[in-house]
Structure formats: C-alpha cells, structure tokens
C-alpha cells in the first residue's frame, strides 16, 4: 500500500484488492487494519486459520490438532540444530484409485501443464508444500475476527457452487457487516476460479470495483 499510494499513476483514495484462495483471508486481514483499501473482493477464499485448525468440514479433532502442534514444536529443535527441514500438506505428487476428489482437483492444476505458470521456477517436490514449523502458525490465524469493522467499505465474496472451500466464503459473509455480497457461480469448483475464464465473474468484479472505487 505504501508503494502503490505513492506512485503518480495511482489514485491513492481509490485502491481495491482481490484475494484468491488463501490470499482472500490475507486480504481481509490487511483490510481490517488498513482503511486505504477501499473495496475488498475474494475469490475461492480459504480461511487458512480454520483450514489448519479444523480442516474442511471440521474433520480435524482437537487431539489431532494438538499432536500437529507438538510435532511442529519438536521439529523446531531439529531444524535449529541443523537437521533436515520437514514439509507438510500441499498437493499430492501422484494420483491413484483412492485419491480424494480434492486431491485430484489440486493435482490437475499444480502438477499438469495447466498450472505451469504458477509453478514455474518451483521444485515439483515442494510446490504448494509449506514447512511444518511455519504452517503451524496458521493455527493462531483468525482472519474473520472483527471482520465487521471493515464496514462501511464494501466486500464481495465469490465462490463456486461446487467448491469444497465454499464454507469459508459463506462464513465470512455471515460475519461481515454491510455492505456485502456473496456471489455463487453455478457449476464452478474451487480451482476452476483460478483460470477457467469462462467461469470467472469478470463482469461482477468490474461492476463491483467501478461502483465502489469511482471518483467522488
């Protein structure tokens, strides 16, 4: 924001933000403490805190969460004393008959030519894989806390009808104050809204920002 707002070609009172997937929750976190962001849109948003604390559909138990936290804490000793870095989660490297639909969805983007640009320059073994000791910090990440304080700046939450991440956009919408809008795209999944240009709501995004960032 400091850089953008000091550029001669930028109207500093008309800056908006779009956050996709995990960056959606980062954009909300930024907007809560930076009123220079005048309009906030998220697409296929992931609440990275809830996804790590609870997993999708609250499938991670408290005991499992505590085990992950304990493992990460011990791993810090390993890495501090020169041991091997441990990575976690991320996209699977191969599919089989037992692969979950969500695994297949991310694999189709990150490990095929479809996502080559996104993964360019990255190691195939590490693409989308955070370190265990860094990723555990998301356990203490609550992007939707105080989300209502962003009002009266407008918020737009876009999610696919069939997206496994739809719950996060719906949760944020419920907690946000007006003005707000939840826009569900029929027939779209989570990753579809990364690059399927026939499904991405460009018209909705354009009208949202034109209306809310217009010169006054």
* CATH number of the structural domain spanning residue 6: 3.40.50.1820
Residue 136 counted as domain residue: no
What is residue 36's predicted lDDT score, i.e. its pLDDT? 97
Range of the domain at 160: 1-47+143-216
Residue 175 counted as domain residue: yes
**177 CB neighbour count, 10 Å cutoff:** 13
**Closest by alpha carbon to 156, among 4, 14, 44, 30?**
44
What is residue 113's predicted lDDT score, i.e. its pLDDT? 84
Between the CA of residue 128 and those of 20, 27, 47, what are the distances in Å?
Answer: 15, 19, 16
Residue 80 counted as domain residue: no
Spatial neighbors of 214 by CB under 8 A, at least 6 apart, are 14
Two structure tokens written together for 28:
């909300």
What is residue 29's predicted lDDT score, i.e. its pLDDT? 98
Computed on alpha carbons and rounded to an integer, the radius of gyration of the chain in Å comes to 19
Strand partners, 181: 156
Question: Which parts of the chain have pLDDT scores under 50?
Answer: none
H or E element in which residue 18 lies:
strand 15-20
What is residue 34's predicted lDDT score, i.e. its pLDDT? 97
Looking at the 3D structure of the chain, how many domains does it have? 1
What is residue 121's predicted lDDT score, i.e. its pLDDT? 54
Residue 168 counted as domain residue: yes
């Amino acid at each position: 924001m400091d850089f953008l707002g000091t550029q001669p070609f930028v109207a500093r009172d008309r800056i908006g933000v779009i956050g996709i997937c995990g960056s959606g929750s980062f954009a909300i976190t930024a907007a809560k403490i930076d009123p220079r962001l005048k309009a906030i849109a998220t697409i296929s948003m992931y609440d990275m805190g809830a996804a790590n604390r609870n997993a999708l559909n609250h499938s991670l138990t408290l005991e499992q969460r505590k085990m992950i936290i304990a493992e990460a804490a011990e791993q810090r000793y390993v890495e501090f004393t020169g041991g091997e870095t441990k990575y976690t989660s991320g996209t699977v490297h191969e599919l089989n008959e037992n692969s979950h639909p969500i695994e297949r969805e991310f694999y189709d983007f990150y490990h095929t030519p479809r996502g080559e640009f996104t993964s360019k320059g990255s190691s195939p073994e590490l693409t989308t894989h955070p370190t265990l000791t860094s990723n555990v910090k998301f356990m203490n990440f609550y992007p939707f806390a105080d989300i209502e304080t962003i009002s009266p700046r407008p918020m737009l939450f876009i999610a696919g009808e069939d997206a496994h991440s739809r719950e996060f956009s719906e949760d944020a919408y419920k907690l946000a104050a007006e003005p707000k809008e939840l826009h569900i795209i029929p027939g779209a999944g989570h990753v579809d809204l990364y690059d399927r240009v026939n499904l991405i709501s460009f018209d909705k995004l354009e009208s949202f920002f034109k209306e809310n960032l217009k010169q006054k």
